[in-house]
Amino acid sequence: MTSKFKKGCLWGAASGTALICALAASGSAHASGFQVRETSGTLQGSSFAGMSTLSTDASTMFYNPGTVGQYKETSYSVGGTLIMPVAKAKNIEASGGLVTNTQTFNNGSYKDMAQDAFVPNAHAVWKLNEQLNLGVSITSPWGLVTDYEPDFAGRFYGTTSKIQTINIKPVLAYRFDNGLSIGAGPQIQQMDASLARSVPNLAGAGEGNSEVSGDSVDAGWAAGINWEVIDGTKLGLSYNSEIKHELDGKIDFDTAANALGYTDRNATAEVITPESITFGVSQKLSSQWTVMADAQWTNWNSIDTLTFNYDGDISPQAGTQSSTSDEYKWGSAWFASLGARYQYDDNWSFTGGVAFDESPIKTEYRNVRLPDSDRYWVSLGAAYKVADWAAVSLGYTHVFANSARVDETDTFLGSYAADYDAHVDIIALQANFKF
C-alpha cells in the first residue's frame, strides 16, 4: 500500500468521523446571527484574517473556492473546535398579559442559558494536474443552541432554540499562468431546527409546552478568485449564495398542553441562510512575516418573518390557528479582521489577530432566543510541523460582546425585559497533511 493511499484513507476516515460528529453535535452560534464561523484551527488563531487569500493548509479553503487552485500539493485537513459561550440575563422584569396573568414569573437574574458545543470540520484538496485542483469541505456553518429552564420568566416567548447544519462543498478550481485562480462549486446543506416555548391556557389558569421542529436538505453554490498579483501579494474575492430551506416537520405539545386543548400537527416552514461576499488581501513582508486583512458582508435580510404552517388547527380556544409567526427583521452585517503570521523557524509558526463582528439584529427586534450584539475578537495561534507531510495547528479566541437589551411585549402573553451580558472562549485544533 502506497504512502499516498494511506494518507488518502486517513483523510477519508477522518472526514467520515467529522461528518458523524457533525450529525451528533449541535452548533453554537458565537458569530453574528446564528453563524458558526469555526471551519479552521489555522484561521482561528488569526481571527480569520487570511480566510480569502491563504493556502497554508487545506482548512483555509472554505471561505474562498478560488483558493483551491493555489495549492501546489494534495492536502488534507481535519479538526474540531470547542465553543464555550456564557450568556446571562440580569435586571429581569416580567409580568403577565390577558392569558398569562395567573402565572408566576421569576424576576431578578438568570444563570447561563448558552450551551457549549464541539464543531468538527474536514477538508481536502487533490491536485489533478499542474493547473486544475479539486477540493471539498465538510463543515457546520450555521448553528444555534440556547436553553432556558421551564420556570424562565420569558418562557412564553421562547425556551429552547436549536439550529444545526452540515455543509458539503465540492470545488473545482483552475490556476492560470499569471497567478490567478478561479474556483466554483455547489453547496449541499442539511438543516435541523427546533424551537420550544411555553403555551398558556387561553380559557383560564395553567400552561404547557410546545416544540416545533423540521429538517431539510437543499443546495446553493459558491465561487471565488484568488490572485497572486506578484510574489508575496495575494488578493481574494468570493461569493457564497443563500440557501432556501423548505423545512418539513411537526409541532408537538406535552401532556399538560394537550389537556388544555392543544393538538399536535405536521408543520412546514421556510428558512433562508444568507448570502455573503468576502474579500481580502495578504502581503508577505519578509521570509518570516505575513500580514492579512479580510472583510465579509452577510445579507441577513433573508431572516425576516419566520412562519410555521400547520396541517390543521392547533388550538380551538383561539379560533382557527393553523400557523404561527415570529418577526426577526434582521439587517445586513459586516465582519472585519486583521492578523499576522510569523514563521519562527522551519517547524514553528505563530499567528495573531483581532476582529469586529457586527450583529444583524436590530434592538427593537432582539428576543430571548438570540440576544445578540456586536462582538470583538482577540486571537492567538501556533502551528508545529511534525514531519515533512504533517503539521498541527492550535488556535484560541476570546470574544467580547456588548451588553444587549431584550424588551418584548404582547397584549396576551405579557411583557419580558432584561439585560444580557455575554462572552465566548474558543479553542480550535487542526491536523494537516500534505504530499
| pLDDT values of the chain reduced to their tens digit, one per residue, 435 residues | 455 544 554 545 444 544 444 444 444 555 678 899 888 999 999 999 999 999 989 988 899 999 999 999 999 999 999 999 999 999 999 998 888 887 888 877 787 888 888 999 999 999 999 999 999 999 999 998 889 988 899 999 999 999 999 999 999 999 999 999 999 999 999 999 999 999 998 777 889 999 999 999 999 999 999 999 999 999 999 999 999 999 999 999 999 999 988 999 999 999 999 999 999 999 999 999 999 999 999 999 999 999 999 999 998 776 678 899 889 999 999 999 999 999 999 999 999 999 999 999 999 999 999 999 999 999 999 999 999 999 999 999 999 999 999 999 999 899 999 999 999 999 999 999 988
pTM exceeding 0.75: yes
pLDDT digits (tens, 9 = 90+) for 20-70: 444 444 445 556 788 998 889 999 999 999 999 999 899 888 999 999 999
CB within 8 Å of 68: residues ≥ 6 apart:
61, 125, 133, 134, 135, 171, 172, 173, 181, 183
Contact 340, 289 (CB under 8 A): yes
Type of residue at 32: S
Q: What is the mean pLDDT of the chain?
A: 90
CA distance 147 to 158: 9
For residue 349 the three cell numbers come to 509558526
DSSP 8: H
Q: What is the CA radius of gyration of the chain?
A: 23
Q: What is the 3-state secondary structure (H, E, C) of 75-123?
A: EEEEEEEEEEEEEEEEEEEEECCCCCCCCCCCCEEECCCECCEEEEEEE
Could you give the CA distance from residue 77 to residue 65 in angstroms, rounded to a whole number? 16
Length of the chain: 435
> In this structure, what C-alpha cell is assigned to residue 390?
504533517
Q: Give me the pLDDT at residue 65, please.
A: 96
pLDDT of 1 reads 41
Q: What is the predicted pLDDT for the residue at 24?
A: 43
By the 8 A CB rule, do 86 and 422 touch?
yes
Specify the pLDDT at position 32.
73
- Arch. (CATH architecture) of 3-434: Beta Barrel (2.40)
| Structural contact between residues 79 and 428, judged by C-beta atoms closer than 8 angstroms | yes
Neighbours of 186 (CB within 10 A): 14
Question: Which one-letter amino acid corresponds to residue 195?
Answer: L
Alpha helices in 216-304 (DSSP H): 255-259
- Residue 395 has what pLDDT? 97
How far, CA to CA in Å, does 195 sit from each of 25, 145, 163, 289? 17, 10, 9, 47
pLDDT at position 258 is 93
Distance, C-alpha 271 to centroid of its chain: 15
DSSP-assigned letters across all residues of 152-173: -TTTTT-SEEEEEEEEEEEEEE
Q: Contact, 386 vs 394, CB < 8 A?
A: no
Sequence ranges of the domains in the chain: 3-434
